[in-house]
């Protein structure tokens, strides 16, 4: 079985992935930290290197997806290939960093990949407001995230909400996390577990 934890930067998806893996005895699959060889070039000239950057990320996430699909264990994954495509690559396109022609080629590659892959059994979307995201980003103190613009986080939030309501058609639940502290309050974590159990209860052998 394949469970995905989806959400914007700072929504808490990595932390929740680890907590759920411990609670259920699932195997956690964290977002790939493989160095993208185009990253440095991309930040120097985004329009020149955006397609290369996004194709590399797509290749890595597709390989992760195939590995997950072959696994006999239940996998809980931090971010999915769908977010890389419909949120981040699409945002690069709309910002003008990828031409229409390049984006069409990229989406054609993604659609071909999806012919041999299957959707997650459940996607758990952690929905958060921009102030909540900013608070978490500041709290964890990653230097490269501290100058992230509010407008960028809002763009990504809008894309996530559109993705979940209009573009993704698999089994999914949305959890509003602004008023939850699932790390320090047991009742908040149990609320999330309850929501997940409701979705998986027809398949008790998968828990």
Give the residue numbers of the binding site for ATP.
Answer: 7-15, 180-182
Convert the pLDDT of each residue in 155-186 to its tens digit.
Answer: 999 999 999 999 999 999 999 999 999 999 99
Give backbone dihedrals phi and psi of 138, rounded to 5 degrees, phi first: -65, -35
Q: Which of 58, 15, 20 is nearest to 36 (CA)?
A: 58
In CATH terms, the fold of domain 2-206 is: Rossmann fold (3.40.50)
* Per-residue model confidence (pLDDT) at position 147: 57
Sheet of 122-127: strand order equals 27-29, 75-78, 2-7, 122-127, 172-176
pLDDT band at 32 (very low <50, low <70, confident <90, very high): low
User: Strands 122-127 and 75-78: what pairing?
Assistant: unpaired
Write the CA distances from 68 to 76, 144, 202, integer angstroms: 9, 29, 22
Residue 19 confidence (pLDDT) above 90: yes
Which letter does DSSP use for residue 41 in this model? H
- Using an 8 Å Cβ cutoff, are 10 and 144 in contact? no
Confidence of residue 138 (pLDDT cuts 50, 70, 90): confident
pLDDT 10s digits, 37-81 = 888 888 789 899 999 999 999 999 999 999 999 999 999 999 999
Residues tagged in the binding site annotation: 7-15, 180-182
pLDDT score for 186: 96
pLDDT value for 144 = 46
* Residue labelled with tokens 């929740």: 16
pLDDT at residue 105, as a whole number: 97
Report percent pLDDT > 90 for the chain: 74
Q: What is the pLDDT of residue 143?
A: 54
Among the options 45, 64, 78, 100, which is catalytic?
Answer: 78
Asked whether residue 146 carries a pLDDT value surpassing 80, the answer given is no
**pLDDT higher than threshold 70 for residue 139:** yes
- The token pair at 105 is 């080629």
- Confirm whether 78 is a catalytic residue: yes
Stated as kind and residue range, the H or E segment containing 3 is strand 2-7
Q: What is the pLDDT of residue 129?
A: 95
The pLDDT score that the predictor gives to residue 11 is 93
């Amino acid at each position: 079985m394949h469970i995905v934890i989806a959400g914007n930067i700072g929504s808490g998806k990595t932390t929740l992935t680890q907590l759920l893996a411990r609670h259920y005895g699932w195997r956690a699959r964290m977002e790939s930290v493989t160095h993208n060889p185009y990253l440095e070039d991309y930040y120097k000239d985004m329009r020149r290197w955006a397609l290369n950057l996004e194709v590399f990320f797509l290749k890595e996430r597709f390989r992760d997806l195939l590995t997950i699909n072959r696994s006999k264990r239940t996998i809980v994954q931090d971010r999915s290939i769908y977010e890389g495509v419909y949120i981040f690559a699409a945002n690069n396109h709309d910002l003008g960093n990828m031409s229409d022609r390049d984006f069409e080629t990229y989406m054609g590659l993604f659609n071909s990949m999806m012919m041999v892959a299957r959707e997650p059994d459940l996607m758990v979307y952690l929905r958060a407001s921009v102030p909540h995201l900013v608070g978490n980003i500041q709290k964890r103190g990653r230097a490269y995230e501290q100058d992230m613009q509010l407008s960028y986080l809002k763009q990504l939030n809008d894309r996530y909400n559109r993705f979940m309501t209009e573009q993704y058609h698999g089994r999914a639940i949305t959890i509003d996390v602004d008023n939850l502290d699932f790390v320090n309050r047991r009742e908040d974590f149990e609320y999330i577990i309850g929501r997940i159990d409701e979705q998986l209860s027809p398949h008790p052998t998968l828990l």
